[in-house]
Structure 1
Amino acid sequence: MSNHVTIADVANHLGVSKSTVSHALSGKRRISTEVRRQVMEAVEELGYRPNFAARIMNTRRTGLIGVLVESLKNPYTTALLEELDRELSRHSLRMVLGTTNNPEDGRELLVKFSDGMVDGILNNLPGLDEAEARRLADGVPVVTYLRHTESPLVIDFAAGTRTALAYLTELGHSDIAIVSLGSRAEPGKPDPCLTAYREWSRCPNDPSLIFRVPEGTTEAGFELAEALFASRATAVLAGNDAVSAGMIQWAIDRNIRIPERMSIVGFDNSSLAKMTFPPLTTLDLPIGKLAAHTVRVLLAAILPDELLPEPLTIVPELIVRKSTIPFQVCPLK
């Protein structure tokens, strides 16, 4: 087809108005899922390609959403990005990704995103809170993942931690270690998982059972494993699935049997949880629900006709697999 296909050509092809096609492409107005699907199929079939500069001039929108994340090493983050991209695509929006481990670089990226590049920003940088993100964005709508105040999305990490600890206690474990991830905590606040652990523990400040990692990666879990297995712990709540996988790999390399030597519980229920050997017992975070709610909050800030969703609280559910067993008096190596 010709490169000069217009919105009018797409509208005539479908027998709908030009405004319907325009709204389906821009997401500016509510369009049914079926009509949006037909428009997107027609656009592909006819070869329609909007002029980017003209679109910005006519709609004052780019159709792009900036997404800031700290790292792609955590499989949960990559899964979240896939779900965010899927949700944004349903509204004819596309994701522009910025990654950095440096807080200053993150601030610089956010400012660049706000300079006419995107229609809105999803901030997932742990060191950048909502107030600062909004100040730097200078009027561009920003939603800070899990920390936004409008129609808040809350994951009850403490409740999930208590569920995991209760389960391990029922299995007969009393010396249970925990790995604290700084990314679980809001800036200036304690890790909610560690707070719940200390409330449960008979020795809440025992340093031999409390471990910390700078990043929730398999490498961090691997490096931490030697100290963990040298402790008196017979079970561990390992922060997330990636850290758990690193611990399991360390044990496999040394012919240490899991879960006979150490029962391990992860957090996230990421793709790794089913791929480890043994498969990982873990706390589930429903990424699809989290992504959908986050995108709807951002759309409500961008589009005048979009309604805010109701606040959402998620209590992580324990998914039991093969990485946990009852306490053994003489654990096997």
Structure 2
Amino acid sequence: MLPAMPDRLATRRRLLAWSSPLVALGLIGGPFLLGLAFADDRHRDQASDDPAGAIEGFAALADDTRFGPATWVSVYNGGTSALLADQPGVAVTELTRALALVPEGTTDEDGEVDPDLPECLVRRNLSLSHETLAVDSAEQQDYDQVTVHLTDALEALGACTTEPPDLPEPPESQSESESEDQPESPTESESEPPTDGDGGEEESSEQQSGEQESSDQESGDGQDEQQNPNDEIQERQEQRMEENREAQEQEQQSGEDESESESGDGGDEEETTSLTPQEEELQSRNREAEQDQRDQEQRSGGGYGGGQNW
């Protein structure tokens, strides 16, 4: 007959008997769960290089994890792989399944839309899938289906969208100051003075010519500010030509002044060659003496006397 076991040892054996199924379940389920995690990572890497091949892998994972806590993940990954593989129809089917399995919630604790929440991830890719179908329908010129797919895309996106921020309106004081700073355009009656006859027409023409000159001057100033190197070279050449022209005019003017001075000197010489009163009196006396001598010779019939008698 076996001796009785102590109560403490009996309690340990009972706990071991009850925990043995849990240990066996852990030994079996642990590697299975680890295998699912590794398979999910492998298929994600495959989706970047071979999206079509990753679709089957994620479909198998979805079957293996259909009783797990995150059953939507494999379905979502399969739909995303189909979208990358340019299979929008398959993507819509898989992502619609994922939308039914994903935990609900599109806002954070502050009540704002959080695009990184699981539901928003599924809705965003589902909306892109509908838009891809709309593009394909547009290429086939099936515009009725384009409208249907675009409507489905908006419905799929749902609340997972952010509205653009409202632009601040300018304050009223600033808008009023800007309106006051703008000069009022003069009316025709104010800008055009009344004309009366020919004098009014001349004044208006002078005014128009003055305005045109001022506008030409302003445009010239604006053009001077925007001159390029070629314009500067041309301007320098024009300045040199103007300087040469002025030098020629100065030389011509100096030549005219010299000719005028010479002509003035010639007139002075002519004036200086004119006889003085004494010389004129002497010549008149000589003429009178010659005349008297001729008269005497005629009266006496004598010879010629060439002397002067004074």
Per the normalisation by structure 1, the TM-score is 0.17
Larger Cα Rg: Structure 1 or Structure 2? 2
Q: Which has the higher strand share?
A: 1
Higher relative contact order (CA closer than 8 Å, sequence separation 6+): 1
Q: Which has the higher helix share?
A: 2
